[in-house]
Structure 1
């Protein structure tokens, strides 16, 4: 018994040139819009007050990333052999990846929505940004950590971050970072005696209302209504 099968052919309507052109334009516009949105977001990123932002772009003026200076948020990442750069967003962002492609760059942390990238400056001067009017060298901390601090007559007691700068003549400067981003620097002579205070490590020591008591290798230092406990090991490194 024969079986007859009938096939029906549906009409094929090729996409006309105008329609094809319109589709290509739509795709291109969507891509451009997405790219522009990402660029605009980076351009209008509001840098948190916890960072000291330097320049108007890194590595070029107008770029999303910025060089970062000394603050409580960056104290543990500053190195005299490298510069610290912050990029808005995660380490997977286009701006961060462009810098990380450099063989001397590495991610060292993240804070307040910013990826922190350390870029070695040893043996490669091309990493210095020319967008800044004058390069600012981060303070070369010999060591960092936390120490007990209080103010307001003991009303505020907490642990403050610090960075210590040790000089060749054995004098030292201890930069203390309060949680509210205020800084206090205490300068010590080679014998461990307090010789003054300031705001930054490279300030000139200013004699002030300071009182120091020594107890079991700990200097109890009062500056106005503030009090700090600094161990001898912080000053000597031993």
Structure 2
């Protein structure tokens, strides 16, 4: 009887130990998985969207901030991936995106620039029979949308055409663009989503004050100085 009692007690202890060990292991695994999925983006970044290139992916498109100012280019989009440049997310992105390259690291995030110049050039070749001049100048200008809800500085590029007209292409931090078409005498002929589209007057309003063209396109606002058009 005593032997049976001791055997039963030993079996129960072993079962309890196995249960505790299994629970601890499961808890550790769950914690690790939660840590991987719950990356908290530092406040130093302006994070756009919920994943790149697909919704739910670890990487994100990044807007303009102090941490990204040196890496932004109006002919490329900036992507941030959590972790080092050797992480699986970075390797997958650089390996599958032909024009993607790692340009830096900041606050635990690897920064990747993906050129959009080739895609735009291909679009111009297929839709625009007239050969356009390359961007001759670039900089930043005040821009606003949402009736004052979003005020910032947008990058821009200027294209001077052979007929002496000018197109100013504005690049919003979230990747959207706005093309503003100017005639030879500096009047706004219309706007479009991209420089390859036909200019449309639409709901575009313009006025000039102290050498600055104040342009409204729906709920968007732009300030383009005359010197931008003349190249002075």
Under a length normalisation based on structure 1, what TM-score does the superposition of the two structures give? 0.48
- Could you say which structure has the greater relative contact order, defined with CA pairs below 8 angstroms and 6 or more residues apart? 1
**Structure with the larger helix share:** 2
Under a length normalisation based on structure 2, what TM-score does the superposition of the two structures give? 0.48
